[in-house]
Amino acid sequence: MNEQIIKNWNRDIQPNDTVYHLGDFAFGGKTKVLLMLSRLNGKKFLIRGNHDDSVLKPPCSDYFQWIKDYYYLKVEDPDGPDGKTQPIILFHYPILSWNHINYGAWHVFGHCHGSLPVNKNLKCHDVGLDNNCMRPISYDRLKQIMSTRVFKPVDHHGIDPR
Domain count, the chain: 1
Confidence grade of residue 161 (pLDDT, cut at 50, 70, 90): very low
For 17, 25, 26, 90, 100, the CA distances from 21, given in Å and listed in that order, are 13, 7, 11, 9, 22
How far apart CA 21 and CA 35 sit, in angstroms, is 17
pLDDT value of residue 155:
66
Q: Which residues pair with 43 in a beta bridge?
A: 18
The vertex-80 CA angle with 78 and 86, nearest 5°, equals: 110
Q: Is residue 66 part of a domain?
A: yes
- The chain-wide mean pLDDT, for the chain, equals 92
The 3-state DSSP class for residue 50 equals coil
- Among 112, 146, 150, residue whose Cα is nearest residue 23: 112
pLDDT value of residue 11:
97
Q: Residue 145 pLDDT more than 80?
A: yes
Poorest-confidence range of 28-32, 96-100, 139-143, 150-154?
A: 150-154
Q: Is residue 159 part of a domain?
A: no
Q: How does pLDDT run across 103-128, given as a tens digit for each residue?
A: 999 999 999 877 788 888 999 999 99
Q: Is residue 161 part of a domain?
A: no
Q: Is residue 151 part of a domain?
A: no
- Among 116, 106, 111, residue whose Cα is nearest residue 148: 106
Determine contact, residues 107/91, Cβ cutoff 8 Å: yes
Q: Is residue 156 part of a domain?
A: no
Q: Which residues pair with 85 in a beta bridge?
A: 76
Confidence grade of residue 159 (pLDDT, cut at 50, 70, 90): low
Domain that holds residue 20: 2-146
pLDDT value of residue 28:
77
How far apart CA 56 and CA 52 sit, in angstroms, is 6
Q: Is residue 152 part of a domain?
A: no
Q: How does pLDDT run across 56-99, given as a tens digit for each residue?
A: 999 999 999 999 999 999 999 999 999 999 999 999 999 999 99
CATH code assigned at 137: 3.60.21.10
Q: Is residue 123 part of a domain?
A: yes
Q: Residue 18 pLDDT more than 90?
A: yes
